[in-house]
Homo-oligomer: A and B are copies of this chain.
Amino acid sequence: MSRKANVLAIPAIGKLDRKIGQLSQQLAQALRNAIHKGELKAGDMLPSTRSLAASLELARGTVLEAFEQLVAEGFLESKRGSGTCVIFSPQTIPSPKVEPTGDIFLTESAQKFARVAERIKTLSPRPFAVSVPVGDTAPDDIWRKIGNRIRARGPGAPSGYGEPQGVRPLREAICEYVRKSRSVHCTPEQIIITSGTQQGLYLATQILLDSGDTAWVEDPGYPGMTDIFETAARDRKMVRIPVDAEGLDVEAGKVIAPQARAAFVTPSHQYPLGMPLSMSRRAALIDWAKTNHAWVIEDDYDSEMRYAGQPFPALQGMGPNNVIYLGTFSKILFPSLRLGYVIAPEPLINAFNGARILMDRHPPSADQYVLAKFMSEGHLNRHLRKMRSVYAEKRRVLMEAVTALISPDLATLQPTDQGMHMVLWLPGFDDREVVRKGIEAGISLRAVSHMFSAGNSESGVLLGLGGFTDEEIYAAVGKLGQLLAAMSRDLLL
């Protein structure tokens, strides 16, 4: 009797609200609350479902359902013939309120990754961000129309898990494209669809290097690459190899780290400086790789955007068994698509598939079919021709504006025939300070100095040829010129 009275005295049960329904859920919650508050304790017997139903004026099934739920949750136990008993009552059930997070312990890994996020922030879409696709550089309506068609039915419609390597029609279209435009030697079986160059680089560090192995990385080089070695792959060793007017100094690499397992290079357009790797360096690099059973990872970014002369063929064609080729559609189509590719010798394909399965299973399917159709119907080549002429003109305007509005005593443009950005050298300036003041003045810049190894850095900023109007480019260059002139006066005072 006292037990029954005890249960019926639980304040929460009085609050069952018949108007909102779901009485069994309400009852279960009331009993949970009673257990949490200590109103019901381990060992307490509950009244029979029949008597509780009667006293609460509920259907007996409703009470039964609540009891079954709490049995499933481990609060109650039902014993045949002897009723239902509370078997779990913690002294203190953790509070469900959001608690202050001040004392959270962060691993060294977490701290390193957080610094990457702070360093690599997306720039505001204004000059000189590399802001594709804006205005003339956006894909036209054909992209959207093909998408609507492909997603309506067939393999582009919602479907189950796909292959980690990516869908076959897109791999075929890419194979044809790189063969014609870049002299890459491969079959569709050698192509792995990625979410862009960054994923290709990440996968390469995981697969091509074992713990303790060394890789050559250009100095200066792409921060998205060096950051991988400094955080996610810090059991692998990166040695920085200097870059000169012919690109990566292969002879220096052979002196600094002759036994390296891999070399990460940007042969068609060195990042960030912009020159191509010369033919003699290419031959020397491939020769070193063959002799040492080393891998060359060729990041062929921006190779489509060449404004003078014919493009260099890809390094991959000179040593298909030693080169991992990375391409991306981020720049030539649009970055938010997140599609790129790796081309690797066949014996490595399963390794890439396995690494991909563990990272994110496979690329989303629908956009792969859309892109395959966009390429096979010839729209990508047409889009590329348009992009090339748009960017060539933007590049001309940028160079003209820099010549007109920035004193040659303060800054020098690095010459390049290729790509979607240029480097403006700023000797004597602290380029990070220029970036900060630029943001205050409403222009988006990236400093070059942190792309060099420590103690080896030079000062400069990246100027993206983003899709801005001539007036916007002139205005931004004017602001940058004034900023540099003012900083220069301050330096002299």
Which residues of A line the B interface, CB within 8 A? 24-25, 28, 65, 68-69, 72-75, 87-88, 90, 93-94, 96-99, 101, 104-118, 120, 122, 125, 129, 131-134, 138-139, 143-144, 147-148, 151-152, 157-164, 183, 185-186, 194-196, 198-199, 202, 206-211, 213, 224, 227-228, 231-232, 235, 246, 261, 276, 278-281, 283, 286-287, 290, 293, 309-310, 312, 317-321, 330, 333-339, 345-348, 350-355, 357-367, 417
Say whether A147 contacts B151, CB under 8 Å.
Answer: yes
Chain B residue with the shortest CB-CB distance to A213: B107
Q: How far is the CA of A431 from the CA of B213 in the complex (A)?
A: 39
Nearest opposing residue in chain B for A99, CB measure: B321
Whether B351 and A113, one on each chain, are in contact in the complex, defined by CB atoms closer than 8 angstroms, is: yes
CA distance A487 to B206 in the complex (A): 42
B-chain residues with CB within 8 Å of residue A125 when the two chains form the complex: 160
Give min CB distance, A168 to chain B, whole Å: 13
Query: What are 25 residue pairs bridging A and B, where the CB atoms are less than 8 Å apart in the complex?
Result: A68-B309, A69-B309, A73-B276, A74-B279, A74-B280, A94-B283, A94-B318, A96-B185, A96-B317, A98-B320, A99-B321, A101-B321, A104-B347, A109-B206, A109-B351, A112-B354, A113-B350, A116-B357, A133-B160, A147-B151, A194-B360, A198-B361, A227-B357, A338-B361, A338-B362
Which one of B122, B213, B338 contacts A163 once the chains associate, using CB atoms below 8 Å? B122
Residues of B within 8 A of A336 (CB): 158-162, 364-366
Beta-carbon contact of B235 and A211 below 8 Å:
yes
Known: A94-B290, A309-B72. A117 touches B279 (CB 8 A): no
Closest B residue by C-beta to A25: B310
A248: min CB distance to chain B, Å? 13
